[in-house]
Structure 1
Amino acid sequence: MIFALVRTELARLTSSRMGLLSLVALMTVPLVYGGLYLWGNQDPYSRLDQIPAALVVNDTGATTDDGEAVNYGRDAASELLRTKDFGWVEVTEAEAKAGITAGTYDFGLVFPSNFSENLASAGGDDPTAADLELTTSDTNSYLSTTLAQRAAEAVRVKVAAQLGEEAATTLLDSIDAVRAGLIDAADGSAQLADGATTAAAGAATLATGAASAATGAASLSTGTASLSSGATKLSAGLAQLDTQAAALPTGTASLASGAASVAGGDAQAATGASQVAAGATQTGQLSQAARTSVATAFADPAVAAALTLSNIDAAAILAQLDRTTAAAGATSTGATALSSSLGTLAAGANQVSSGAATLNSQAPALAAAVHSAATGSSTLASGAKSAASGASDLASGTAQLSTGASDLSTGVASLSTGATELSTSLADAVGKIPGSTEAERTKAAAAIADPVLVKQTALTEAQNYGAGLAPFFISLAAWIGMYALFLLVRPLSRRALTAVRRPVRTALAGWLTPALLGVLQVVALFAIVTVGLGMDSANPLALLGFLAFISITFASIILALNIWLGSVGQFIGLLLMVVQLVTAGGTFPWQTLPAPLAFVHQLLPMSHAVEGVRQLMYGGSTAAFTATFWPLAVWLVVCLGLSVLGARKQGRFRTLRELRPSPIGA
């Protein structure tokens, strides 16, 4: 009976040309909807180059710290024009704004005049972030704004990676240069340590010698002080002798004159002899005093040394004084003899006269010699005083030299220790900086500029954007197709209910007719998706069977709504479609839905249909697919049960109004 009712219903639907055309038209609704929508969205990202976009390059370039001329804006723009990710057109800034406003361009990207300058400032004292100006207008397309943001971000990331790689290369090259410098510094510090060790030894020797020099300078200062004292005494004694020697020529002259008078007349002999004796005695005393003073002065070692330095012959001076004393003694003796005995006056007078003449001739020379000695001793005293002062300064200086040499020795020893530590530290530093070739530094710079590589492991993967949307639109097309079929197919044969009174079979026949037609729809839609659009499926046969199961499940739902609520139930089927457009999670993940809609997502059938198609189409797990199958099976069983209950109710109670043809599905 069920198949008979199905044949009867199909015959009714195809009994006229208009009915057949209506059935064919409604059967193609899900094909047109699903096929066209998936075709239009099959792979839009491969056609982004058809989106017109304005590109403005105002960048004037810049010069880096190492003198290199760069223009990052022009380089990036050239790369965009080369890759043609979008339909880039290079225009002026005014043309870009006008074009975006008019819809000629969907968005615009501007590299400002200071783009390179700001990027290059990263290596200076005042780094400034570079601006990349993006101009959009949602009147062109909201999605184009999103794509424009992605394009700008891609440019930003690429420029940042380029600069990062350049900066990293510079850094690594600098580190390599630093390493080379450290190696040279380590070698130099080793030489410095060796030299400092030698200098330390020399400084220690210098300190010892300076200490000895200080001791000797102190002794020299003491000796020169004694020399100065002795020279001063000599100068004073010779000054007195010089004063007394000045009267010597006068005395000898008087002696000579007296002797001449004695020799010239006997009458004056006694008087002359007396005068001669007195003069001779005075002369002898003066000569003896001079001899004693000079001998005493010459006995002083310091005076003797000074006389030697002044080239004064002390022996000659003493000999001269001895001769003078001897002459004076002889004169005195003669004069005394003359005075005591005039008988011997004549003979003695000649001797006196001769000695006095000799004495008179030697007296000026003696006076001049004494005067020269006095003058020389004064100069000697002045020089000895200067020498004593210099020796004192020398002693003070050598004492300071000794202290400084000791400090120098200590400092050089510290320098030697520090140089050794420096050499060791530099060697350690060289060991901690690895050596690298230019190729290794280039590779390391690339890794620093882009340190994270996303390695995607796709457990399941959609073929393209259209394949990603296919589960949602296939399920939606199955619902739309079933909804459209119930515009023609009768939910129940009311005559069969009234005449035969078999509600179960009648209800199943009312479900089987649209279910079979729905299966034909999804088979055709499956062919369009896989063959026509070339979308692959990991489990094609299982997917086809599941699509048929989805269709017969949707048929049971709309059948139950029509049996219980009639035309209102058909309208509710439309409302359910609208709600499931939002809650099925076909585009965005359903977890992003508000809490009430997320709860509805778990209940409605299309959510499970979309998830099941994904699992089969992309090659998901069996457990995940099973989790989507059973909720649909529950919907199928429950709705068929409700349809049977509704058919039994209508079979017991019929009215004349219910026997009239319905405006929907009559």
Structure 2
Amino acid sequence: MHLLKEELRHIFTNRKIRVPIIALLFIPVLYSGMFLWAFWDPYAHMDDLPVVIVNEDKGASFEGEHLALGDELVDKLKDSDNFKFDFKSKKDAYKGLKNQDYYLLVEIPDNFSENATTLMDDEPKKLDLVYVPNESYNFLASQIGETAMEKIKASLSEKVTETYADTIFSKITDMADGIGQASDGAGKLSDGSNELKDGTATLHEKLAELASKSIEFKEGMYTANNGSKELASGLNTLNQGLAELGKGHSTLTSLTGDLAAGSQGLADGVSAAKAGIDQINGNMPALKNGAASVEAGAKSLSENLAQFQQGMQSVNAGMTQFKNSMNDVIAQMPPEKQKEVLTLFASLDQLSKSSVELSNGANKLHGGAEQLNKGQEQLAAGIGQLATRTPELEAGAGKLAKGVKDFQAGMKTYDQKFAEAQNGANKLVTGAGTLSGGLNQLADGTDKITSGAGQLEEGAKKIADGTKEVSDGSKELADKLSEGADEATSVHADDKTFNMMASPVKVKNEKINEVPNYGTGFAPYFISLGLFVGALLLSIVFPLKEPAAIPRNAWNWFTSKFTILSAIGIVQGLIAAAVLILGLGLEVKNIPLFLLFVIATSITFVALIQFFVTAFGDPGRFIAILILIFQLTTSAGTFPLEVIPGFLQHFNAFLPMTYTVQGFKAVISSGDYSVMWHNLFILIGFMAIFMIGSLGYFKLMHKRQFKTLVQD
């Protein structure tokens, strides 16, 4: 106690020490109070920060209305108190920025409004605002300006979105009408799709029938093809029969000539007989010779008629075969052609009958000639009768000659008809070949038709299934369009709706442990800084090592110095706390605990300074300054610890200011007193370490300097 009284007496009696100490009592409040006062709430004075605005916007037309976003922005800025706005031309504005009349410049380009109308374009353009800060004039002002520009950008975005929202909702109204019309059209589409569904079902049914019939058609074509081949074969046979008929016809023609010559000779002979009958009785030798001639002529006629009969038999056989082969052909001929052919066949039948009768007559004539030759005696006997019957014989011979001539005329007609029949048969053979070839191709085509009909049936089935889905989908489309039209027409937009679309998200800032201003946020940092600087300056004006009297022991020496230093430090802290609370209006969660933590902080810093300065003198004071510098950068009092270099982050846990800042934050802002107490105990640990260090130094020095004096 004696040494402490001497220290106090020395302070109060020595003006050189007393006055500086009194001044030092206000050092912490000057540091913390002045800094916090200066930056207590800088955003409250933004209206004094000069900012120049350049409006080059020319405006634009949008949906038939004039859009002038640049002018609207200028009007808003004029009503705003964010900055001290000044509105200049581009030339004057940039000149003022360069002369440091303004901290920053905001330029609204000439295409500002025009770009706002390009939202629906293929390549929409953003609205550019040119932000030009003069960072060399004041860097923080440019940073504050960027924050303000974000607010301006958000406000402009909201305005542009409101404009588009207004347009969109008007389009929605138009769209509702269009959707209604689309709904009606979809209803018609649904009806049409139902009809299409029915039609495709019918199509599928008919195509199935087509596929079935195509198979029957295919089988019929195969039958027709085979029939055409048989027809071609029959026509070839007919053609061959006609060739044989032609040969028989030539023989018949030749025999007809002989018959004509014979009949004419017969007529001449009858005439001669009539002329010479009267001479027969007197000229029997001549009659005998004439009878022999008659016998020879009859024999020749009989032989020729036999050949003629053979030819006619061949003709009859050919005609029979020709008629049989021509039955199917004749059935397909036109009626007029059928009549001609049937007439020809009737003539041929009559000719055949006549040839038979002629042949029989020739045979009888031959037999009669023989009887004439044998019964010439009887002739002589009956010559009288013959003379009376000669006129009748002459008339019969005339009729025979005439009949033969008619037969020759009929043969000429037969020649013409036969040539036509043969020509027609040739054409039929050629046509039958063409028909057979065409039917072959048609038969091949029917295979493809049958295959295609099957594919068509399958495709029709798929179409039928698809049209059912179309029908169902079109009905659903009609229903949904109707619902959409109802919903679209139920939209009623106003300015509140446009504003909600323009700014749909409202950030509700629910702060935890709200810090009202910059001053409150920085108070833990500046209070710690002020108390440390106060303790450091105290080491300059107050002797930390030299005692006011001879100390009895090291403890007495240490406690006298530490008590004085702690008392001054406590007073410094209390003055600073009082000014901050009463003068600046600093709000703390708990005033007693706040004052307790101020005292603990001040004593900790006093103990630190006492140790280094007492033990090392001026180098120790330099060490204390280095510690202060490291504390300012690593205590996380301004920027978060994570954003400083990693190397510096390692010092954070080993410096006391780290814990003073955390403790002040707890007792001022968060109210988490457990954190405060935790940091307080750590500070007490720092305090004890430095106190023990100082006490150890005083023990060492006391042994060296004052042990002998105290013993004496």
1:365 maps to what in 2?
A: 410
2:235 maps to what in 1?
A: 228
In the TM superposition, what is the alpha-carbon distance from 1:562 to its structure 2 partner? 5.0
Change (3 A) 1:47 1:214: farther
> Aligned to 1:387, what secondary structure does the other structure show?
helix
Kindly provide the CA deviation profile for residues 429-451 of structure 1, in whole angstroms up to 9, marking residues without a partner as x.
xx9xxx999899x9xxxxxxx9x
Higher Cα radius of gyration: 2
2:212 maps to what in 1?
A: 205
CA distance in structure 1 between the aligned counterparts of 2:439 and 2:614, rounded to whole angstroms: 134
* 2:574 partner amino acid: L
1:262 maps to what in 2?
A: 269
Matched, 1:354 2:351: no
CA distance in structure 1 between the aligned counterparts of 2:32 and 2:139, rounded to whole angstroms: 24
* 1:325 partner amino acid: S
> Aligned to 2:636, what secondary structure does the other structure show?
coil
CA distance in structure 2 between the aligned counterparts of 1:542 and 1:485, rounded to whole angstroms: 25
Contact 1:107 1:145 in 2 (8 A): no
Change (3 A) 1:202 1:551: farther
Kindly provide the CA deviation profile for residues 357-411 of structure 1, in whole angstroms up to 9, marking residues without a partner as x.
0231242133213421331232133124313432343134324422552465368
Alignment gaps of 5+ in structure 1:
167-172, 443-449, 656-666
2:431 maps to what in 1?
A: 386
CA distance in structure 1 between the aligned counterparts of 2:437 and 2:542, rounded to whole angstroms: 138
The answer to which structure, 1 or 2, has the higher relative contact order (CA under 8 A, 6+ apart) is 2
Matched, 1:601 2:652: yes
Change (3 A) 1:600 1:323: closer
1:617 maps to what in 2?
A: 668
1:519 maps to what in 2?
A: 573
* 2:631 partner amino acid: Q
Contact 2:203 2:460 in 1 (8 A): yes
> Aligned to 1:586, what secondary structure does the other structure show?
coil
Change (3 A) 1:475 1:328: same
In the TM superposition, what is the alpha-carbon distance from 1:523 to its structure 2 partner? 1.7
Contact 1:584 1:610 in 2 (8 A): yes
Matched, 1:590 2:680: no
The TM-score, its normalising length taken from structure 2, stands at 0.64
- Structure 2 counterparts to residues 175-324 of structure 1, below 5 A: 198=205, 201-202=208-209, 204-206=211-213, 208-241=215-248, 243-244=250-251, 247=254, 250-251=257-258, 253-255=260-262, 257-266=264-273, 270=290, 278=300, 282=304, 285-286=307-308, 289-290=311-312, 292-300=314-322, 301-308=324-331, 309=333, 310-311=337-338, 312-313=341-342, 315-322=345-352, 324=354
1:532 maps to what in 2?
A: 584
CA distance in structure 1 between the aligned counterparts of 2:669 and 2:51, rounded to whole angstroms: 34
CA distance in structure 1 between the aligned counterparts of 2:146 and 2:589, rounded to whole angstroms: 34
CA distance in structure 1 between the aligned counterparts of 2:396 and 2:566, rounded to whole angstroms: 193
The one of 422, 426, 435 aligned to 1:377: 422
1:470 maps to what in 2?
A: 523
2:282 maps to what in 1?
A: none
1:33 maps to what in 2?
A: 31
Contact 2:107 2:129 in 1 (8 A): yes
* 2:438 partner amino acid: D
1:332 maps to what in 2?
A: 362
CA distance in structure 2 between the aligned counterparts of 1:375 and 1:561, rounded to whole angstroms: 152
Identity of aligned residues (%): 17
Contact 1:96 1:108 in 2 (8 A): no
CA distance in structure 2 between the aligned counterparts of 1:567 and 1:421, rounded to whole angstroms: 99
In the TM superposition, what is the alpha-carbon distance from 1:514 to its structure 2 partner? 0.8
> Aligned to 2:638, what secondary structure does the other structure show?
coil
In the TM superposition, what is the alpha-carbon distance from 1:614 to its structure 2 partner? 1.7
Contact 2:601 2:683 in 1 (8 A): yes
CA distance in structure 1 between the aligned counterparts of 2:429 and 2:664, rounded to whole angstroms: 125
CA distance in structure 2 between the aligned counterparts of 1:545 and 1:358, rounded to whole angstroms: 172
In the TM superposition, what is the alpha-carbon distance from 1:223 to its structure 2 partner? 2.2
> Aligned to 2:438, what secondary structure does the other structure show?
helix
CA distance in structure 2 between the aligned counterparts of 1:92 and 1:246, rounded to whole angstroms: 134
In the TM superposition, what is the alpha-carbon distance from 1:609 to its structure 2 partner? 0.5
Matched, 1:480 2:533: yes
Q: Which range is displaced more, 569-578 or 475-484?
A: 569-578
Kindly provide the CA deviation profile for residues 531-558 of structure 1, in whole angstroms up to 9, marking residues without a partner as x.
735x544444422321232123323333
1:551 maps to what in 2?
A: 602
In the TM superposition, what is the alpha-carbon distance from 1:321 to its structure 2 partner? 0.2
Kindly provide the CA deviation profile for residues 484-525 of structure 1, in whole angstroms up to 9, marking residues without a partner as x.
455555658944557999535532441244134213323234
In the TM superposition, what is the alpha-carbon distance from 1:610 to its structure 2 partner? 0.7
Contact 1:30 1:481 in 2 (8 A): yes
CA distance in structure 2 between the aligned counterparts of 1:260 and 1:34, rounded to whole angstroms: 178
2:560 maps to what in 1?
A: 506
In the TM superposition, what is the alpha-carbon distance from 1:633 to its structure 2 partner? 1.1
Alignment gaps of 5+ in structure 2:
166-174, 176-181, 278-289, 492-502, 707-712
CA distance in structure 2 between the aligned counterparts of 1:651 and 1:207, rounded to whole angstroms: 133
In the TM superposition, what is the alpha-carbon distance from 1:472 to its structure 2 partner? 1.3
Change (3 A) 1:420 1:135: farther
Contact 2:248 2:314 in 1 (8 A): no
* 2:321 partner amino acid: A
Q: Which range is displaced more, 376-385 or 243-252?
A: 243-252
Change (3 A) 1:265 1:374: same
* 1:590 partner amino acid: L
Contact 2:252 2:311 in 1 (8 A): no
In the TM superposition, what is the alpha-carbon distance from 1:26 to its structure 2 partner? 4.6
Change (3 A) 1:38 1:398: farther
Contact 2:26 2:572 in 1 (8 A): no
In the TM superposition, what is the alpha-carbon distance from 1:354 to its structure 2 partner? 0.5
Change (3 A) 1:607 1:234: same
Q: Which range is displaced more, 352-361 or 328-337?
A: 328-337
2:687 maps to what in 1?
A: 636
CA distance in structure 2 between the aligned counterparts of 1:332 and 1:456, rounded to whole angstroms: 147
* 2:634 partner amino acid: T
- Structure 2 counterparts to residues 73-222 of structure 1, below 5 A: 104=102, 106=104, 138-142=135-139, 198=205, 201-202=208-209, 204-206=211-213, 208-222=215-229
Change (3 A) 1:198 1:631: same
CA distance in structure 1 between the aligned counterparts of 2:625 and 2:144, rounded to whole angstroms: 34
CA distance in structure 1 between the aligned counterparts of 2:229 and 2:695, rounded to whole angstroms: 144
In the TM superposition, what is the alpha-carbon distance from 1:586 to its structure 2 partner? 1.6
Change (3 A) 1:325 1:94: farther
CA distance in structure 2 between the aligned counterparts of 1:76 and 1:241, rounded to whole angstroms: 122
CA distance in structure 2 between the aligned counterparts of 1:96 and 1:373, rounded to whole angstroms: 125
In the TM superposition, what is the alpha-carbon distance from 1:649 to its structure 2 partner? 7.5
Change (3 A) 1:517 1:652: farther
* 1:386 partner amino acid: G
Count residues in correspondence: 610
RMSD: 6.2
Kindly provide the CA deviation profile for residues 163-220 of structure 1, in whole angstroms up to 9, marking residues without a partner as x.
xx99xxxxxx9xxx9xx9xx99xx9999899689757844652553244234313322
CA distance in structure 2 between the aligned counterparts of 1:19 and 1:136, rounded to whole angstroms: 50
